[in-house]
Amino acid sequence: RRAGARPARLTVMAAASDIPIRLRPFGNYLLVRRISAGGMADVFRARVVGARGFSKNVAIKRIFPHLAESDRFVRMFADEARIASRLVHPNIVQIRELGEHRGVPFIAMEYVPGRDLYLVFQRLVELGERLPAPFAVRVAAEVARALEHAHAFRHHDQPHDIVHRDVSPRNVLISWGGEVKLADFGVARARDREEHTEHGLIKGKVRYMSPEAAAGRVLDRRSDLFSLGVVLAELLIMRPFRDGANDLEILASIRRGEVDCQRLAGVPGPLLPVVERALAAHPEKR
């Protein structure tokens, strides 16, 4: 960017994703629309209503009722809320409350009116358009700021050793006004988690894993940088960075540290060293 120039403004195009539901009470909230459903919980846009016409949108992440009977999943859910609630940063989705309604745990958090990066990417592909490189860089830079805050976080003057472990387009939210926010610390590693991942167990989305994550090794912040490098590469080349017949084939390729240099041909020259460094197979080279 030129000195003194205003940062590139990112405008998000609308794409249908919210799933309408019948407006219904949920504790102190009113559920308005279901936004998404994952492997562990579904997420709703909700509204909290107060005195004298006060009303505010929030997001409610509600664990699936059948998982609420599992102590392990409830501990994982509580870990997510506790870890993310300590991270106060403009590029991280803020946690408002960890609660329970009729025996089902939920997390109330900041509602980001907009779309996740995956939907933005898919919409651009449908339209045959590219995300301008300055916008791609801005998105990556703001996610990097969120990660820097999480990685450096200290609690009671002790390092928290947070690693997100799931940096991917689905977990990057972009508001209609262009704000970029990192979400979902559900599989994050931290020093004081109640529910720890078993050694060798793989978590996160395969296409965005680092070689050390794919091998089930102990991770540090550099694993998140690799995942962010994959996201940035995809935004610049406008296609998936990794292909394979199935997840196992992709996983094996990642473990071997393979990077298809031909896929980086669409990366603008000045950005190529940045992407290549983020995608280095050995963490010490990132």
- Any idea which residues carry the catalytic annotation? 166
What span, in angstroms and rounded, lies between the C-alpha atoms of 239 and 91? Answer: 25
Q: Please name the residues in contact with 41: beta carbons below 8 A apart, sequence gap of 6 or more.
A: 61, 62, 63, 64, 67, 77
Nearest to 166 by CA among 149, 151, 185: 185
Say if strands 158-159 and 154-155 run parallel, antiparallel, or are unpaired: antiparallel
Q: Are the C-beta atoms of residues 228 and 147 closer than 8 Å to each other?
A: yes
158, two tokens: 């002790």
- Residue 180 CA: distances (Å) to CA of 137, 153, 219, 285: 12, 20, 25, 27
Q: What distance in Å separates the CA atoms of residue 91 and residue 82, rounded to the nearest whole number?
A: 17
